[in-house]
Structure 1
């Protein structure tokens, strides 16, 4: 594990494999280890230089209780700091759920740093949610931690024990601070659409976010959407049998910086 300190906050990451770089950023639950437990690291390390990052509040990174530490623009800067520490100018990026949201904001603010973006169960969205709803969810996090989210995931997907443990491991107060901080963001859909960077969206056809993800696929020139049949939100991360056959050819085509050609959408 390596660390870098930005604005007094420690951000942890590790690298594995060799080849064109690929950043892997986990969702709201878990840490960089979920990419190992899920099989992604073993599947891709022979083809890519994987950069597995712990978002602030997770794994080996610091876990402040100040909600402002989790604002998406600060988390984007954390990713850039890791890239700079690794000497990576441009990289492919695969983000799961929250990681995908951060990826869209990274694309909007620093399109020159990405060769392509894969976002699982995520979309760039509009500005943050209504304050009353955010505080309701944050209060639920403080009271019950991740348990309600685990229960919701299990109603849609088969959640393996290691993933359940990873979801439940987050501190309830950290989860609440993250919920508030991430809600305080600007909409970046227009900037994503103008970036000219290849985008692949992964989404279960039972994911509540699918309508917004579909709209993103239509709005972003050249963006492609792989809808996973019979799958919920978490399956965009868990179901490697469905995602890797799409992700691998997408990375082969775009991870080294190949441009979109003729406005055609990627077909895996």
Structure 2
């Protein structure tokens, strides 16, 4: 049960090959946290990746077997420092990062702070026009009022405030950096019906990714829309992994078969 001694983060390594870190909603203690029925989701990702990639999953933030982080300490700077520390502990020098939703937002911050990424995959979160202020408002409204589903990954009710603190820390972030030429390949994917409403606050995720396609294309991003699915598409590795695997294989020098359609 490896634990990074600097950050206190528990992590697991699966397979062998090119290093790939995957963030929430996958976790090192995924089944332990979500129960036996969730095993198919985790294995659905790992079985489609670990023949070529060494996949690092981690319990983060303050979930599973990892150490606690004070909610007001969860800033973008802290998160990125912790993830790079875990990469060190896992023996990763350069690595691809794959995040979804909140960890998609994290991936953008990580790419802006380090040159150790070999590729960046963002799911379910806009690289441009991201609803940071809306996410902050929704998460603040839900403090003390969140549903039981959120409590599954929390150790105590006070911990929910960590999400508000993260989003507060990235307000005003110059996200136009996402459209600057980058030395690494970048991909964004989303469920076509993936706009959300949280605590009465609209979170336009799919619609903003769709609207930003021209700017992202000009900056070299690959986009992939999964039609007829919402934000929960992350729970469908059969739909998500093939296009992402195709992208990673193509840019990181591996080979794979993919019959779907990606890009614009």
In the alignment, which residue of structure 1 is the partner of 2:144? 142
- Confirm whether residue 121 of structure 1 aligns to residue 118 of structure 2: no
Structure 1 residue 198 displacement after superposition? 1.1
| Structure 1 gap segments, 5+ residues each | 151-165, 258-265
Give distance in 1, aligned partners of 2:151 and 2:248.
28
- C-alpha deviations, 1:19-39, integer Å up to 9, x for none? 101101014xx7334497312
- Confirm whether residue 40 of structure 1 aligns to residue 45 of structure 2: yes
Give distance in 1, aligned partners of 2:121 and 2:49.
14
Aligned residues: 234
Structure 1 residues 53-68: aligned runs within 5 Å: 53-67=58-72
- Confirm whether residue 213 of structure 1 aligns to residue 215 of structure 2: no
Moved over 6 A (4+): none
Give distance in 2, aligned partners of 1:87 and 1:203.
31
- C-alpha deviations, 1:37-88, integer Å up to 9, x for none? 3121222112210111222222222233332x21112101111111222232
Query: Does the 8 Å CA contact 1:57/1:63 hold for their aligned counterparts?
Result: yes
Q: Alpha carbons of 1:204 and 1:70: their partners in 2 closer, same or farther (altered >3 Å)?
A: same
Structure 1 residue 90 displacement after superposition? 1.0
So what's the TM-score if we normalise by structure 2? 0.77
Give distance in 1, aligned partners of 2:103 and 2:46.
16
Q: Alpha carbons of 1:82 and 1:118: their partners in 2 closer, same or farther (altered >3 Å)?
A: same
Structure 1 residue 127 displacement after superposition? 8.6
So what's the TM-score if we normalise by structure 1? 0.76
**Secondary structure at the residue paired with 1:115?**
strand
In the alignment, which residue of structure 2 is the partner of 1:98? 102
**Secondary structure at the residue paired with 1:143?**
coil
Give distance in 2, aligned partners of 1:12 and 1:188.
32
- Confirm whether residue 175 of structure 1 aligns to residue 173 of structure 2: no
- C-alpha deviations, 1:180-229, integer Å up to 9, x for none? 33332142423232233211111011111012223454333111111111
Give distance in 1, aligned partners of 2:253 and 2:213.
22
| Structure 2 gap segments, 5+ residues each | 32-37, 196-204, 255-261
Structure 1 residue 167 displacement after superposition? 6.3
Query: Does the 8 Å CA contact 2:104/2:122 hold for their aligned counterparts?
Result: yes
Correspondence for 1:187 among 173, 176, 181: 173
Query: Does the 8 Å CA contact 2:151/2:157 hold for their aligned counterparts?
Result: no
Query: Does the 8 Å CA contact 2:124/2:190 hold for their aligned counterparts?
Result: yes
**Secondary structure at the residue paired with 1:122?**
coil
